[in-house]
Every structure is written in structure tokens, then in C-alpha cells.
Amino acid sequence: MREVMTGNYASAYGAKLARAEVIAAYPITPQTSIVEKLADFVTTGELKAQFIPVESEHSAMAACIAAETAGARTYTATSSHGLTLMHEVLIWASGARLPIVMTNVSRAMAPPWSVWVDHMDSIAQRDTGWLQFFCQSNQEVLDTIIMAYKVCESSGIMLPAMVIMDAFIQSHTSEPVDLPDQELVDSFLPPYSPDLKIEVGKPMGFGSLVKPDQYMEFRYKAMLGMKAARDRVLRVEREFKSIFGREHGGLLERYECDDADVVLVAAGSVAATAKDVVDSMRAKGHRVGLARIRSFRPFPHDEIRALAGKVEGMAVLDRSYTFGAAGAMFTEARASAYSVQKRPVMKNYIAGLGGRDITPRILERIFEDIQVVSRRGAEDEVEWVDVAGLQRRWR
Amino acid sequence: MMGKPTIPEPEFTFPGSTGCPGCGANLVMRYLLKGLGERTILSIPACCWAVMPGYWPSNCLKVPLLYTAFEATGAAMSGLRAALDAKGIKDVTIVGFAGDGGTVDIGLQAMSGAAERRTDGIYVMYDNEAYMNTGIQRSGSTPWGAWTTTTPVGSTHGFKHEAKKDIMAIMQAHRIPYAATVSVAHPEDFIKKVVKAREVKGFRFIHAMSPCPPGWRMNPMHIVEVARLAVDTHAFPLYEIENGKVRITRKGKGTPVSEYLKFQGRFSHLTDAEIASIQKTIDENWQMLLAKETSGT
């Protein structure tokens, strides 16, 4: 069944179709309509779940952790300040090896206050041990939530996943979304059945104190889980495609990259705009392509490396900035490309912070710039795009 | 004439707790579980009892336990209960077991949220009146006049100059169905209240006085005596609040508070005038409690 809906509703439907059993959530703009919709589903009985209206995001995640430890499939959703308030318990969730799935509507951090899109909130959680999927469309949001449960609940993975969409551009923008049949989703995603859960009669401690001669092994095993997630994401998506007829690009979606001289690497909704720009530039004879980072954690190192071996220039667009370094997508992509014999010229473009539009014209300028610098070598490794008082060419 | 002992014989704490000699919190856990029985799931945040069950993979408790972040006990209780409800699992008592700092300070918000949501569970605060696991730093539950490592006794300022937070009044204001204070010096009263709490639905609160020999600067052999003096001097009265109605369960003798303080090195710097000021506050609080009992609220 196809319906026109916002990214937020697509998210709520994703959690419903995945049959989340416990939902704990706290409202924050622009995530609120996810929680409202789920509260509706639970109230009307359309979704048989326990809804915990917690008093903070920290408690939302702490409640999900407890419920998931007791064997329930859990879901929550948040944004920006809510996500960063959760930071401590995000690390707890992955350390406890709990396959919680959460939507983050990526939004800028204050000050100054901003409710618009920016990836700083999500990027700031990159070391928490969560899988992180950046989505481009509302359909992808829904599909990724369902797939994320299947990826993460595997006994070899057992890590939580964050499904990320852009504030307002996706959360509040309506698109046609195919709602898969519940029976099909059920056949794809069986009920959550962990090997271990907290229950009476089994006096185990979950999260006990360990000595220095034991701690590293826990982190090592989590690392193995994240590593195994690379293949798992691809296999689950293949199975998803065989049932639902759709796919979203694995870890790194490549668009017109096969014969490209230069490519743009980006994540989130801007990728949709960039695809249009690729089409229009190709029509004018430019061999350009787009590589969309769909999975930021695990990072598509192999895919970026393979791509880096084929192109002359690689522009990496970051919708956040890591102070004292560069954009996080850029530093990761450059690390991936390091072992390539003939490395492309790589340049980082910081753009679209705090909801500033990244227009087709700006993307075209980025493509043109990377074409020029790939011929003569990069002048600046990192350039801030469309900032008042800086280079006029962006305006 | 000895009456028939009412304390249940089954033990739910194995030997092996890593608590200090004379730790009051060991007794609090022991009596609590005697009252609750095996169908209990504990959630414990950062506190002495996050360490006391022993290093992984050991666990000195005969009930399962979920460790949680310092400020998250109330939320963990809600999550555990929701999961059991989702699975249709009944007859399990969910217990949050936290220290005083984890309750009146960093955990107050999550506990308040769980109480407001009427999460079906028992929150137990074992009160050793400071951050003892981290090395005796003052908490909102440290009483006026006490020495701690962050309220050092010096020539210019010295000791804690702020009153202990009245957590029972805070919980009463949440209109929860049951709240009680308990003491390790009165195990029968302790277990009776726990059993009563177990039978109530909704959010319940137990405030357990838990003497700490290293933190209180006292001889471990005196902890029960000190706990008894806390009750007898009205420094820690034993009472319960059932559906809003206050009932004092042990009136105590009204022994001078100096008798209670003199066992504890953390009060040894106090002058007679300062002790008199503590006595005055305790007397006023006791009169207020009596008035609450008389008025029924």
C-alpha cells in the first residue's frame, strides 16, 4: 500500500511494522510526530506495545536498555540535544550488546539555537558503538528501521542501530512511501529472541564490574560484532530486496561512479539533490558521480578505497565539523583512501550547517571546484561553503 | 520471654560480598531480599552495591540484577516493568536499589519520573549519608554538621552547613501508595514494611538507614548500636506513609542526640553549641512528624 507521508510517520510505521514491544520516548523538535504517531498506534491497539512516556531522553534510552535486557524489542526516537543527552547510555547500550533501534532526526546543536538540519548530533556519537545509517528518502527510513532490527538482533552482531534522517527536509516533508504488508515483514523479521535475558530464577548480573585483565575482551568482542555488521548489512539488504523488491545501496550507494573522473561523497538528504546535479552535469559532458555514505558506522572503508583507486578527485561534503580536525566523513574517507597507490586529490567541503540550504547550484560549484583542484592539487584541504564574508563564488 | 521470630529464614545473599567490615548496606540488602523473596529483579546504579556483588562473573546475590547508569535507576525500573508487561510475565517484584547520592542528587529526576508514571516497583534508597563508594564526598543526604572529604573541617569554614534533604517528604508529595523508613537495628520492623510494600501495586519507596564505618569514622562493631541510637534520638525516625497517612512505627526514647553523634568521628569536631543546634532541629522535625501523624497526613 502506497501512502504519502513524512519521514517521521515513515519512522513510526517502521517501528510498528517491526513490532516494537516497548517504546520509551521524550518529545523534541522535530522528532515529536514520531512519538505522537506511536502513542496513537498503541492507544488504538494497532500496535501491541508498552509506551513509556519518560521524563528525559537519558531515561528513554535507560528504559530501552532495561526492557531490551529483559528480552523485549525496543524503539525510541530523538534529535540533537536529546541524542547528546543520551551519550552516556548510548555507550551503555552497545557495551551491553543490546540491539536497540532508534531514529535520530539530525538537527543542529545550540548555541545558537537552531532546530534545522545538521549532522553534528549524529557525528558526535560515532564512537558509541552504534551502527549509524544515514537515510536519503522517507522510504529508506521505514525500510532501514525494519532491516536494522534484523541486522542487529543477529547473535554475531548484538549492537544497537541509529537510523538517521535530516530535520524537516525529511522529518516534515511528505513523499510517497510503500507500506509493506505486515505478514511479509513478519516473514522477514522474526520475533526478538536473545540468547540471554534477565529473568527470575537465573541470578545473573548484567553489566558487572570487571578487572583490567577482563575488560578488553568485552570491547574486542563488540569490535568483532561491528566488523561482522558490514557483511550482515549487505546480506540483510539482499534478502530484503528479494521480498520487497527494493534496495538502498548497502554501505555506500554509488550513483554514476563507474566511469567518473571526480565524485562527491555525501550523506543524508543532500544526496538526492546531488543525483539531480550529477544528471545535469553529465548531460553537459562532465564525468561526475555521487557516492552516498549510507552506513557511517560501520564505515564503508573497502568501498571508499575501491572508489578512490578509480577517480582523480574526491569531494567530501560534511554537514558538521569536527573542531581541530575537519569534517568527520572527510577524515574517515581520507583514511580509507590512504592505502591506495594512486590516491585522488581529496577535499573537504563544510556546508549546510544549521539548516542552510545546499542548493543544486552549490553542489555544481563543488563539482567544478573538485574538477579544477584534482588537476592542479588541492589548495585548501577544508573549505567552508557559502559563509558570509568568505569566497563569493558560492553565493 | 522471647516471641516467635518473624524474620524469614531463607537467605538470598551468598557469602562473597566485597563490602567493608560492618557495612550497613550488606544488612539492608539481606533484610530486603528476605522480605521480597526469589521472584525479584534488582536494578542497581553506580553505588557501593555496584561493586559489592563481586567481580564478573561472580554474583553474591540469588536474584538477577541489572546494573545501570548512576542517574537511571527509576528509568531502568520502568523499562524492566514494561518488558515484563509486554511478555505477560506476572508476580515479579521490580526493585531499584540505589544509594543516597544516586537518589536524592543525580537520580532524583528519573525516580520522580518513575513515581509520577506509577511504575509498579519498589525503590530502595540505602542511606549512608554521603558518596561513600567514591570516598566520602558530601551528598544532598549528608546531615548538617558532618565532616566529609568535600566538607573538610578547617578554620574558616568546616563541615557541611546545609540540611539533609527530606526525601520522604519529596516522595510523599508524589502521592505514592507506600513509603517507609527502615533501620538495620530493627530487622523485624524492616522486613514487615518490605512485605507490606511488596503487596502494594504502584511505585513504592523504602528509605533505609545504612551506617558506614569508614565514612562515619566509627568502629564497625558499633553499627547496629549506632543505627538504634539514630532511631532512639529521633535523628532517623521509623515511620510509614500509607496512601498519604503517616504512622510512626517506633517512637523511640528521645535519647539526647549527643549519644548518637559521639560514636562517629565525622561529628567529633562539633562544639557543644553546634550539638545543641542539631538537637533543636531534631526536636522540631520530631514534633512536625508527630503532628503529621496526628493530622493523618
Q: Indicate if the pLDDT at residue B1 is higher than 70.
A: no
* Number of neighbours of residue A201 by Cβ within 10 angstroms: 9
Q: Is the dihedral of CA B150, B151, B155, B156 positive or negative?
A: positive
B75 to chain A, any CB pair closer than 8 A? The answer is yes
Site from A21, A23, A59 to mutate, B interface, most B CB atoms within 10 angstroms: A59
Residue B6 forms part of a structural domain: no
- The confidence band for B154, taking pLDDT boundaries of 50, 70 and 90, is confident
A244 to chain B, any CB pair closer than 8 A? The answer is no
Closest CA to A330 of A286, A383, A280, A372: A383
Q: Which helix (H) or strand (E) holds A139?
A: helix A138-152
Cα separation, A193 vs A149, whole angstroms: 12
Closest CA to A243 of A157, A156, A146: A146
DSSP string for residues in B67-85: E--TT-HHHHHHHHHHHHH
Using a CB-CB cut-off of 8 Å, the residues of chain A touching B61 are 203, 205
Identify which of A53, A71, A92 has the shortest CB distance to residue B83. A71
- With 0.80 as the threshold, say if the pTM is over it: yes
Residue B104 forms part of a structural domain: yes
Beta-carbon separation of B117 and A208 below 8 A: no
User: How long is chain B?
Assistant: 297
Residue B111 forms part of a structural domain: yes
- The confidence band for B70, taking pLDDT boundaries of 50, 70 and 90, is very high
Domains of chain A: 2-191+211-244 (3.40.50.970), 252-394 (3.40.50.920)
Do the beta carbons of residue A62 and residue B110 sit within 8 Å? yes
B90 to chain A, any CB pair closer than 8 A? The answer is no
Beta-carbon separation of A200 and B40 below 8 A: yes
Residue B253 forms part of a structural domain: yes
Identify which of B43, B51, B66 has the shortest CB distance to residue A209. B51
Mean pLDDT of the region A266-281 = 98
B60 to chain A, any CB pair closer than 8 A? The answer is no
Using a CB-CB cut-off of 8 Å, the residues of chain A touching B55 are 208-211, 214
Residue B267 forms part of a structural domain: yes
Residue B19 forms part of a structural domain: no
The per-residue pLDDT for B86 is: 98
Residue A120's DSSP bridge partners are none
Q: Indicate if the pLDDT at residue A390 is higher than 90.
A: no
Q: What is the pLDDT of residues A292-342, one digit of tens each?
A: 999 999 999 999 999 999 999 999 999 999 999 999 999 999 999 999 999
Q: What is the pLDDT of residues A48-96, one digit of tens each?
A: 999 999 999 999 999 999 999 999 999 999 999 999 999 999 999 999 9
Site from A74, A98, A199, A200 to mutate, B interface, most B CB atoms within 10 angstroms: A200
Do the beta carbons of residue A52 and residue A105 sit within 8 Å? no
A39 to chain B, any CB pair closer than 8 A? The answer is no
User: What is the least distance, in Å, from the CA of A296 to any CA of chain B?
Assistant: 27
Three-state SS at A121: helix
- The confidence band for A392, taking pLDDT boundaries of 50, 70 and 90, is confident
The per-residue pLDDT for B74 is: 98
The one-letter amino acid at B130 = A
Beta-carbon separation of B56 and A208 below 8 A: yes
Using a CB-CB cut-off of 8 Å, the residues of chain B touching A89 are 69, 72
Do the beta carbons of residue B52 and residue B26 sit within 8 Å? yes
Q: What is the pLDDT of residues B189-226, one digit of tens each?
A: 999 999 999 999 999 999 999 999 999 999 999 999 99
The total number of structural domains in chain B stands at 1
Domain that holds residue B244: 24-295
Q: Indicate if the pLDDT at residue A187 is higher than 80.
A: yes
Beta-carbon separation of A52 and B117 below 8 A: yes
A387 to chain B, any CB pair closer than 8 A? The answer is no
- The confidence band for A344, taking pLDDT boundaries of 50, 70 and 90, is very high
Mean pLDDT of the region A187-199 = 97
Beta-carbon separation of B82 and A63 below 8 A: yes
Q: Indicate if the pLDDT at residue B138 is higher than 80.
A: yes
- The confidence band for B145, taking pLDDT boundaries of 50, 70 and 90, is very high
Grid-cell match 533501534, residue found: A101
Q: Indicate if the pLDDT at residue B2 is higher than 70.
A: no
DSSP string for residues in B81-112: HHHHHHHT--S-EEEEEEESIIIIITTHHHHH
Q: What is the pLDDT of residues A110-161, one digit of tens each?
A: 999 999 999 999 999 999 999 999 999 999 999 999 999 999 999 999 999 9
Q: What is the CATH number of the domain that holds B214?
A: 3.40.50.970
Site from A23, A42, A54 to mutate, B interface, most B CB atoms within 10 angstroms: A54
Identify which of A52, A55, A202 has the shortest CB distance to residue B112. A55
Site from B18, B49, B56 to mutate, A interface, most A CB atoms within 10 angstroms: B56
Residue B4 forms part of a structural domain: no
Grid-cell match 512516556, residue found: A53
Q: Indicate if the pLDDT at residue A264 is higher than 60.
A: yes
Cell of A323: 573542531
Site from A86, A97, A204 to mutate, B interface, most B CB atoms within 10 angstroms: A204
Beta-carbon separation of A69 and B66 below 8 A: yes
DSSP string for residues in chain B: ------S-----B-S---PPTT-HHHHHHHHHHHHH-SSEEEEE-SSGGGTTT-STT---BSS-EEE--TT-HHHHHHHHHHHHHHHT--S-EEEEEEESIIIIITTHHHHHHHHHTT-SEEEEEEE-SSBTTTTSB--TTSPTT--BTTB---SSS-S--SPPP-HHHHHHHTT-SEEEEEETT-HHHHHHHHHHHHHS-SEEEEEEE---HHHHT--GGGHHHHHHHHHHTTSS-EEEEETTEEEEEE------HHHHHTT-GGGTT--HHHHHHHHHHHHHHHHHHHHHHHHT-
Calculate helix-pair angle for B24-36, B187-199, nearest 10 degrees: 40
Q: Indicate if the pLDDT at residue B155 is higher than 70.
A: no
User: What is the least distance, in Å, from the CA of B64 to any CA of chain A?
Assistant: 4
* Chain B residues 108-127 with CB within 8 Å of chain A: 109-110, 112-113, 116-117
Using a CB-CB cut-off of 8 Å, the residues of chain A touching B112 are 55
The per-residue pLDDT for A91 is: 98
Q: What is the pLDDT of residues B157-193, one digit of tens each?
A: 689 999 999 999 999 999 999 999 999 999 999 999 9
A64 to chain B, any CB pair closer than 8 A? The answer is yes
Look up the ipTM and state it: 0.97
DSSP string for residues in A326-358: --HHHHHHHHHHTT-SSPPEEEEEE--GGG---
Residue B213 forms part of a structural domain: yes
Do the beta carbons of residue B127 and residue B134 sit within 8 Å? no
